[in-house]
Structure 1
Amino acid sequence: MGEFLQVVPNEFRLQMELAIHFWNEAGVELPFELVLNARDGSWNINVLYERHFGVVFGENRFCVLMWVCAENAFELPQSITLPCGVEEVCELKLRSSKGMFIVNAKTNIDGNWVLFGNEWKRLVGAHNINSNAYLIFQKENGLMYDIKVCREADPYFELNIQEHHKNWVTIPAAFIDVYDVRSMKVVLISLKGRFKLQVKHFRGRGRKQSKHIVFGTGWKDFYKRNYLSNGAKCRFQLMKASGNQSADTFMMNVVVKK
């Protein structure tokens, strides 16, 4: 059939848009099954065209990007069909590292499948699924899927500076749980240099006993040296650990917008 050059984008783990003109010139009608042979093995891939996603979906597997944290219900891409009757509500079993979750599935007025129900909400909470995540569904048998939650390589959280932030900043609880940020020290890197901070751990009051991690000693110096004030927006991006980085320290790149 010939060859074509495919540039691999940063988001290739979520989707891979192929050179559609190549397949048109080759006289291949979509959809079709493509066999990929590589040094490590061979894979059967379903190739299809879908306006918004334009992706390659693996055999019995599909990926879904969580554009927004869909806590109560989640609409699957238009290309995905489930082995259920279109007009009926069926139950899917989603097995993850957190256990088994039984969710409802039904088509909406656009004909797309929607996952919903209390178990879906519990799954979202158990995995702290947010807009930085995407899901991989692997079909096992019938209406059972293995589900894996994947996240961005360089996660971040954003903060709108307010008056009380002069003295402390609390790292969001969901960020702590998802990325296991539990070290005792942090190094913040900004255009004004590197700042070493101590991290304080404390537990909130009440039934839930929520855990909090706060930037402690060193934060006031960071605040002052970066000329932070009310209304400024800071993006704290967790950086990959380097070989010479202490095990009890994590590093964050901070971008300040005023």
Structure 2
Amino acid sequence: MPALANKVYFNYGGQGPLPTASLEAMAASWRRIQELGPFAEPASGYVKELIASLRRALAALCGVPPQRLAFTENVTSGCVLPLWGLPWRSGDQLLISDGEHPGVVAACHEIARREHLNVGILPVQDCVREDQVLERLDKALQPRTGLVALSHLLWNTGAAMPIPAVGRRLREHANQPWLLVDGAQSAGVVRLEDAVAAADLYAFTGHKWFCGPEGLGAVVVSRRLLDVGAPTLIGWRGLAEDPDQPL
């Protein structure tokens, strides 16, 4: 790793040094695009296959079909963009844990302001057992809770949250709130399948445990959210090549 040539790196969960293999792979891809001709048909095919292969690999890691995984800029955009497309009702509650990243917290407060929602806090930072988290959840849930935001691993303490158990609890709730999971600190270091299966939105980034560059993340979207969510950013890259495969 070039970054370690003249310094020592202590992993604090922010951004890791980029391995030489990652740097070389990125440079090789850009070089290949230039050799084929930017925006030329061969280059477009090359890029399309790179994207598809990465999508398949990440989807397999998450235990979902590739059609349910989308690339994003980072975790915050992966969490936030789908939220704007959900069918909110005035008076719904957004329940946010006290261990969420400021990017998600700020976005939830802005959505609440625009859509006339209520924001509640789920205190989990001092929980050390699964039953404690679930007990706090039961106390914080309201009849109109529409979403629960809870990280897989808390960014400020590293504590692991029982996402599958939380998901089961929410499915038993009369309103069946959406479950938003920030996987920034978990993806690439712990098993993801069960947590992803429990979440409606599971977002992660490439610049931490995956040893990739900043500016690339992904989000896995549940089938039920896909059925009711509306697109929030629409551009030419979002157009369907096959009407039967809209993603």
Higher helix fraction (1 or 2): 2
TM-score, length-normalised on structure 1?
A: 0.22
User: Whose strand proportion is higher, 1 or 2?
Assistant: 1
By relative contact order (CA 8 Å, sep 6+), the higher-ranking structure is 2
Task: Return the index of the structure with the highest Cα Rg.
Answer: 1
Q: What TM-score comes out, normalization by structure 2 length?
A: 0.22
